[in-house]
C-alpha cells in the first residue's frame, strides 16, 4: 500500500478537511459567489417578468399582493475548478514527497467540497496526472495518481508550461503552483501568463535548507541534475556570500512579483508538516483572497 493511500495518512487529510470546513465553510477559496443571476440557491432580487422568462420563477405571492408579475433572481454559487501545477522536474526530487503531500491535501479538500480538480505535472512539459474530477469517489484515484508520479523532463520551463496550460485549460478557476520556483528562465513570464487568464493564482514555494545556503568550500565539479551539464568551480567565502545574496534577492523578487499581480503566496520547507502549511493558508483567508 502506498504512503498516500495509507489509512493513517487519509485520516490526517480528513482531519484537515474538517478544519477547513469549520474555518472557511468548506472551501479553500474564501468567496465563490458569482455575480451572475439565474436559477440557484441564494435569493438575490426580483425583476419584472418579460415574455420568454421561465414562468416557474414567477413569485405568485407578490402577484397576489400587487397584481404585478415578477420573477425571482438567485445568486449562483458556482463550483470551483482547482488546477494543481506540481513541479516534478528532476531538481525537485529531494522535495517531491513534501510537494506531493501538499498537492494531495489541497486536492482532497477540493474533492470533498464537490469542486473539480485537475492535477498536472510540470517540468519541460505538462503531464496530466488527474483528469478533471469531482466528488469523494475520486479521492483514491487522485491519491494513487500522485503516488505513481515521478520526476520527468530534462529541464524546467515554467513559461512553456504556462503557455500549454493557457492553450488547454480555458475554464476559469483556481490555479495553485507547487514548486521551488528556481526556474532557469525565471518565474515572471509564467506568473504573468497564469494571472492574465482570469484565474485566481496561488504560489506555494517549497525550499530546502540546501537551496538557501552554500556550504561548499574549495574546488568542486558540479553537474546539473536536469540538463547533465558539468562545470568546475572554486568556492570561497566570497562566492558563498554571493550565492546567499542571489537566492535572497530571487525569493524577494518572487514575493514582490506575486504581490504586484495579486497572486497568493506561501513559502515553506519539506521539514514543515503539510497540515501546518494549510493552516497558514487558512490564517490568510484561503487560497483566493
Which of 265, 88, 91, 85 lies closest to 184 in space, CA to CA?
91
The verdict on residue 114 lying in a domain is: yes
Q: CA 289, CA 286: separation in Å to the nearest integer?
A: 6
CB 274, CB 204: distance < 8 Å = no
Residues ≥6 apart with Cβ < 8 Å to 11: none
The answer to whether position 19 is within a domain reads yes
Instruction: Please indicate, yes or no, if residue 2 is contained in any of the structural domains.
Output: no
Can you give the pTM of this predicted structure? 0.80
Shared-domain flag, residues 71 and 113: no
The strand pairing partners of 218, in sequence order, are: 235
Same domain? 197 vs 260 = yes
Domain-embedded: residue 178: yes
Same domain, 253 and 118: yes
Indicate if 177 and 120 belong to the same structural domain.
Answer: yes
Helices 274-283 and 7-24 pack at an angle, to 10 degrees, of: 10
Q: Residue 195 corresponds to which cell in the numbers above?
A: 494571472
Within a domain: residue 241?
Answer: yes
Query: Of the candidates 77, 93, 111, which is a domain's last residue?
Result: 77
Tens of pLDDT, residue by residue, the chain (289 residues): 469 999 999 999 999 998 887 766 656 664 444 333 333 445 556 677 777 666 677 888 887 878 888 877 654 455 679 999 999 999 899 999 999 999 999 999 999 988 999 999 999 999 999 999 999 999 999 999 999 999 999 889 999 999 999 999 988 899 999 999 999 999 999 999 999 888 999 999 999 998 888 777 777 777 776 677 788 877 778 888 888 999 999 999 999 999 999 999 999 999 999 999 998 887 777 775 4
| Domain endpoint, select from 45, 60, 77 | 77
Flag whether 288 is in a domain: no
> Is residue 143 domain-shared with residue 268, that is, in the same domain?
yes
| Ramachandran bin of 9, using left for φ above 0, alpha for ψ from -120 to 50, beta for the remaining angles | alpha
Q: How crowded is the C-beta side of 161, counted as CA atoms within 13 Å? A: 31
Q: Specify whether 52 is located in the same domain as 190.
A: no
Q: Measure the CA–CA gap between 170 and 187, rounded to whole angstroms.
A: 21
Contacts of the segment 213-220: beta carbons below 8 A, 24+ positions apart: 213/240, 213/243, 213/244, 214/239, 214/240, 214/243, 214/244, 215/240, 216/240
Q: Same domain for 263 and 275?
A: yes
Residues 125 and 243 in one domain: yes
Q: Residue 19 has which C-alpha cell?
A: 478544519
| Final residue belonging to a domain, choices 62, 77, 92 | 77
| Same domain assignment for residues 102 and 202 | yes
Q: Would you state the pLDDT for residue 73?
A: 63
User: What's the pLDDT at 61?
Assistant: 82
Q: What is the CATH number of the domain that holds 173?
A: 3.40.50.410
Cell of 249: 534577492
HEC secondary structure over 28-90: CECCCEEEEEECCCEEEEEEECCCCCCHHHECHHHHHHHCCCEEEEEEEECCCEEEEEEECCH
Specify if 155 maps to a domain: yes
Distances (CA, A) of 42 to 50, 105, 127, 221, 228: 22, 29, 39, 64, 57
- Are residues 233 and 251 both part of a single domain? yes
Please give the residue range of the domain that contains residue 149. 7-27+80-283
d(CA 101, CA 209) in angstroms, rounded, equals 19
Local structure of residue 288 (DSSP, 8 states)? B
- The radius of gyration of the chain from alpha carbons, rounded to an integer in Å, stands at 23
Within this chain, do residues 178 and 243 fall inside the same structural domain, yes or no? yes
Looking at the 3D structure of the chain, how many domains does it have?
A: 2
Phi-psi region of 37 (alpha: psi -120 to 50; beta: other; left: phi over 0): beta
Say whether both 46 and 132 belong to one domain.
Answer: no
Amino acid at each position: 500500500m502506498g504512503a498516500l493511500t495509507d489509512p493513517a495518512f487519509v485520516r490526517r487529510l480528513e482531519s484537515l478537511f474538517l478544519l477547513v470546513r469549520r474555518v472557511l465553510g468548506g472551501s479553500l477559496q474564501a468567496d465563490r459567489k458569482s455575480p451572475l443571476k439565474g436559477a440557484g440557491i441564494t435569493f438575490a432580487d426580483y425583476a419584472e417578468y418579460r415574455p420568454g422568462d421561465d414562468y416557474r420563477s414567477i413569485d405568485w405571492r407578490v402577484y397576489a399582493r400587487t397584481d404585478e408579475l415578477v420573477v425571482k433572481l438567485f445568486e449562483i454559487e458556482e463550483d470551483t475548478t482547482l488546477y494543481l501545477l506540481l513541479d516534478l522536474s528532476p531538481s525537485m526530487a529531494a522535495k517531491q514527497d513534501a510537494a506531493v503531500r501538499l498537492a494531495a491535501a489541497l486536492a482532497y479538500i477540493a474533492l470533498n467540497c464537490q469542486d473539480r480538480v485537475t492535477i498536472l505535472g510540470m517540468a519541460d512539459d505538462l503531464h496530466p496526472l488527474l483528469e478533471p474530477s469531482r466528488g469523494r469517489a475520486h479521492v483514491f484515484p487522485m491519491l494513487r495518481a500522485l503516488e505513481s508520479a515521478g520526476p520527468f523532463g530534462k529541464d524546467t520551463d515554467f513559461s512553456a508550461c504556462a503557455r500549454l496550460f493557457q492553450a488547454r485549460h480555458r475554464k476559469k478557476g483556481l490555479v495553485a503552483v507547487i514548486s521551488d520556483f528556481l526556474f532557469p528562465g525565471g518565474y515572471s513570464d509564467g506568473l504573468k501568463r497564469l494571472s492574465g487568464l482570469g484565474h485566481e493564482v496561488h504560489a506555494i514555494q517549497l525550499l530546502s535548507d540546501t537551496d538557501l545556503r552554500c556550504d561548499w568550500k574549495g574546488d568542486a565539479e558540479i553537474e546539473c541534475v536536469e540538463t547533465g551539464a558539468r562545470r568546475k568551480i572554486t568556492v570561497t567565502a566570497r562566492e558563498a556570500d554571493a550565492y546567499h545574496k542571489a537566492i535572497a534577492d530571487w525569493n524577494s523578487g518572487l514575493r514582490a512579483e506575486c504581490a504586484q499581480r495579486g497572486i497568493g503566496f506561501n513559502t515553506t520547507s519539506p521539514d514543515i508538516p503539510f497540515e501546518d502549511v494549510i493552516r497558514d493558508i487558512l490564517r490568510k483567508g484561503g487560497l483566493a483572497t
